[in-house]
Amino acid sequence: MNKTNNIWNIKEKDFPKTSTKAEQLKFLLNYAILAPSSHNTQPWYFKIRSDAVYLYADRTRALPIADPQGRELIISCGTTLFNLRMALHHFGYAGKITTFPDFHDRDLLACIELGYPIQQSTDENLLFQAIPKRHSNRHDYQEWDIPESTLKWLQKDATQEGAYLHQGY
């Protein structure tokens, strides 16, 4: 953790470049845990073993009334995994991410390793810089049509992530 114990004030310069992979992964988790989650439940926990970090769903933080199927819980875990991936890229690692690595453990969602060195893209840098700036919004959404060009861009990004974008109400 960073020296001030305030996770929102994490400093890039504190990245332990010459430390062990486990220490580097531990540092990167500072960015992962800043992810938004349904009702701010933060329904995840991590275990670091050797050169890998394991992401688990923390079902003790489930909201059985608001989220009876656990869908939002898993989406929330996906946001922390995305933040971790952006942090990996920012600090020069491709990340080796294996989702659902153990068929018998439904709470083990991903195994994450540093992976090989890479150069971060401009878009990824913008996403990384946004991590500590995120905040909750409890206001009503504005009603406006999303431009077709934005929808196409989102569809392309969803496809690259192995997902799909359903456009409809």
User: Could you report the per-residue pLDDT of 58-67, keeping only the tens digit for each?
Assistant: 999 999 999 9
With respect to residue 167, please indicate whether it lies within any of the assigned structural domains. Answer: no
Name the domain count of the chain. Answer: 1
What is the pLDDT at residue 169? 63
Q: What is the mean pLDDT of residues 61-78?
A: 95
Q: 3-class SS at 14?
A: helix
What is the pLDDT at residue 168? 75
pLDDT digits (tens, 9 = 90+) for 13-38: 999 999 999 999 999 999 999 999 99
Q: Are 62 and 70 in contact (CB under 8 A)?
A: yes
Instruction: Record the tokens describing residue 25, joined without a space.
Output: 């992964």
Residue 2 has pLDDT above 60, yes or no: no
With respect to residue 165, please indicate whether it lies within any of the assigned structural domains. Answer: no
**Cβ count near 132 (within 10 Å):** 14
Distance CA 107, CA 59 (A): 8
Average confidence score pLDDT of the chain? 91
With respect to residue 50, please indicate whether it lies within any of the assigned structural domains. Answer: yes
Burial of 63 (0-12, 13-18, 19+ CB in 10 A): middle
What is the pLDDT at residue 1? 42
Q: Are 85 and 61 in contact (CB under 8 A)?
A: no
Distance CA 131, CA 160 (A): 21
Residue 88: CATH number of its domain: 3.40.109.30
98: containing domain: 7-160
In 39-165, where does DSSP find H-type helix?
71-90, 122-130, 148-160
With respect to residue 169, please indicate whether it lies within any of the assigned structural domains. Answer: no
Residue 3 has pLDDT above 60, yes or no: no
With respect to residue 168, please indicate whether it lies within any of the assigned structural domains. Answer: no
What is the pLDDT at residue 5? 57
With respect to residue 1, please indicate whether it lies within any of the assigned structural domains. Answer: no
With respect to residue 143, please indicate whether it lies within any of the assigned structural domains. Answer: yes
With respect to residue 114, please indicate whether it lies within any of the assigned structural domains. Answer: yes
Residue 145 has pLDDT above 70, yes or no: yes
Taking the whole predicted model, whether its pTM rises above 0.85 is answered as: yes
Residue 99 has pLDDT above 70, yes or no: yes
